[in-house]
Structures are given as structure tokens and as C-alpha cells.
A and B are shown apart, each in its own frame.
Chain A
Amino acid sequence: MTKINVVDLITDKPLIANFFDYEAYVRGDLELGLLENRRGDRLIAIPDTMINALYQGLSKETGQAARLVMINCGKWWGKSFYNRFQQSLQDFYGIPLSEMDMLTFVRSLKEYWITHGWGKLEFDPEYRDRGLIVIRTYNSAYSRSLPGEQRPSCFLEVGILTSFFSRLVGRELVAVQTTCESLGADCNRFIIGIPERLGNVEQWVLDGMSHDAIMQKLVL
């Protein structure tokens, strides 16, 4: 065992502090009506009613397509989100995302969710070695039902998780939602994996299959 030198530890190693700590992260110039994050990127607080209006408006104008529109919006959003997320962490910790340990990455993602008021996110690694990632979100800002539809409805989150994780692992992945707070579930569950494997999941969900049953079927 080599001897630890605390002076080196303090000066050389990146601190393992929380970049997305709310108090340090959210700033603002209220005279100009601007909210910013600690890197100077603009933040906007969106009222809950606006997300409701988005769901209602899109549903009225585009009918069944509203879901796909929102998933696509989420994908675009996810692309920029990934870029910013990885740039922020890279600048803060001084190491590229690819060299960051999994735990710091996951913790940061959770903190990001909380600090932006999107709800609480949990990363479930149980099925990771079988090529599937499960994400759970609680108190999601995006879980609200579309008129006349009985299906999980965190479409924006489906989109954002799809493109975030595709970029992260460098291949095309999809996220499929299996449970939803808007349908009375305790949380929103998303399965992320390659499209060929998850192709039937959406139909299984519509057929009323439970999340656990779907996972069992996928890992068989």
C-alpha cells in the first residue's frame, strides 16, 4: 500500500463534490429576468399548467400523433441534454465522461433530475449485464394522461432517455415506459435496450402485462 499524501489529494485529484447541488447550481440575474445555471446556461422555470397545455393542445391538434410528436421533442431535447451534461461534468471534474466511474455518473444524473424539479430518478443496474437498463422516476413533471388514452404518458421522458442513453453507449437504444404515475402506479418505469429486443414491449404494456412480467419475458 502506497502512502497517501493529503496535500496531493487536495490539489491533484478532482473533488468529488456535487456539481448539481441546487444552491450552487441555480443562479439568476433577477433584474434582467434571467435564471442561469452555474455555467451560465439559461434556465427557465416552466409552470405545471404549461405542460398540461402542451399535452392538451397537441392532443387536440394532432390527435393520436401527439404521443410521437412529444417523444420526438424529447429526443431532440435529450441530444442537447447529453451534450451539456457531459460537458458540465467534464469541465467540473477534469476528466471525460468515458473515464468517470459509473457511480459518479449515476449520482450526477439523479441530482440533475432533482435540481431541475423533474422529480426523483433511480437507476436500477440489476439487468445491466443482460443488456437492459431500468430507470424509475418519481413525481415526474411529465406524467399526465392524454384525453381518451390509457397508456403510460411520460412521452418527453421516453424521448430524453432514448437519446441520452443512445449517445452515452454510442449505439441506437430505445426507452419504453412500462408503468406510469398517471395510471396510478407508484412510479414511472422505463426499460432501455436495443430496439430489436424491446420491439414488443409497448404492445405488452397495452395488453396489461406488468413490469415484472415483462422483465421476466425479456431476460428469459
Chain B
Amino acid sequence: MMRVAELLQKTEDRFLNSEEIAELSNFVAGMPARLTIYKKLRDREVPILQAVADQVEQELPSADTKDVEKSISSLMLVLRYCAMALLMNSDEAFLKQRILRWLEQVSTAYNLRRINEVIFRHLNHLLTQEFSPAELGLLQPLITTAQVTLIY
């Protein structure tokens, strides 16, 4: 979508060239697959987050509930932004700009990294059960960007 927006800016200069048309066609052709993943993420949001929360509580019984809640809320934002990024075919820069820069400051300050580490481990495992390898191929790079930002 970012790229599509760029193409739109060329409107007054010239018509799109064949390469750009092909790019636009790819964007449209990929839409049904991306929509499917988007809908699945939307419909499975609560069960996925709940399963992650349960597992974190089990693995880190001494962690402060408030901290875990904060991290799960952040994860919810991350998943929603990943879903939107995927739908719009945006890259990791979109995620960083829109949400990760914001969340990153919390994970550093509250020392939530340990919790985030466990959260993402369980999330990644759950996603392999929820999505096909092809779907994961589209989704995983975005999740990994979030994971790397919020853990390291």
C-alpha cells in the first residue's frame, strides 16, 4: 500500500509503466490471500491472546500480573498492526513507525523484555498451529520484526 501510494503520486507526471502495472496487479492478486489471514487473525484474536496469557502465567508464576497484562495488551496492538500491515502489503517500516517505536519505550523502561521473550515464543508456536506455511511466510516477517524490537 505504501508502494501503491507512491505510485499514485506519479499521477501527474506520467502513466504507470508496465513494471508498475505488474506491481499493482500483484498487489491486487495477493489481496484474497492476505484477506484470509487478516480475517483469521481477527476471528482468532481472543483465543490466541488467551492461550499466550495462560502459558506465560504458567511459565512465569512470579511475574507481576500488571506487567503481564501490559505485555498482552501490547501484543494485541502488535497483532492488530501486523494484520493491517499484511492487508496493505506494507513492510516492516510501517510497523516500526506506527507502533513499535511507541511500544519499545515501555519494554525498555519496565523491563518487560523477559515477559515479552516468553510471550513471543508461545505466540510463534501457536501461529504455526493456526496458519499454513504459506500464510506464515507472509505473516512471520512482521511478527519477527516486532519480536526483535520488543525483546532486544
Contacts and interface: CB of A to CB of B under 8 A. Distances in A.
A99 interface: no
Main secondary structure of the interface of B (DSSP, over half): helix
A107 B105 CA distance: 7
Contacts of B54: 3-4
Contacts of B82: none
A2 B65 contact: yes
A111 B110 CA distance: 19
B90 to A, nearest CB: 12
Contacts of A9: 49, 69, 72-73, 76
A119 to B, nearest CB: 16
Nearest to A17: B77
Interface string B70-109: 1011101100000000000000000000110011011001
Most chain A Cβ neighbours within 10 Å, of B53, B57, B69: B69
Interface string A18-35: 100101000000000000
B41 interface: no
Interface residues on B, range: 20 to 34
Contacts of B62: 1
A6 B77 contact: no
Given A3-B57, A4-B65, A23-B98, A16 B74 contact: yes
A16 B70 contact: yes
Contact of A1 (B61, B98, B105, B110): B61
Main secondary structure of the interface of A (DSSP, over half): loop
A1 B73 contact: no
A1 B57 contact: yes
A4 B73 CA distance: 11
Given A1-B61, A4-B57, A21-B98, A13 B73 contact: yes
B27 to A, nearest CB: 20
B63 interface: yes
B130 to A, nearest CB: 16
A4 B72 contact: yes
Nearest to A104: B106
Contacts of A5: 50
A63 to B, nearest CB: 43
Contacts of A7: 46, 50
Interface residues on A, range: 10 to 19
Interface in B16-40: none
A21 B68 CA distance: 24
Most chain B Cβ neighbours within 10 Å, of A3, A4, A6, A16: A6
A6 B46 contact: yes
Interface string A79-122: 00000000000000000000000010001000100000000000
Contact of B105 (A3, A6, A10, A103): A103
Contact of B106 (A16, A21, A23): A16
A51 interface: no
B80 to A, nearest CB: 9
Interface of A: 1-7, 9-10, 13, 15-18, 21, 23, 103, 107, 111
18 contacts: A1-B61, A1-B65, A3-B57, A5-B50, A6-B53, A7-B46, A9-B69, A9-B72, A9-B76, A10-B46, A15-B73, A16-B74, A16-B77, A16-B106, A17-B77, A21-B102, A107-B102, A107-B106
Q: Nearest 10 A-B pairs (CB), nearest first?
A: A18-B102, A6-B50, A6-B49, A4-B53, A103-B109, A107-B105, A16-B73, A1-B65, A6-B46, A2-B65
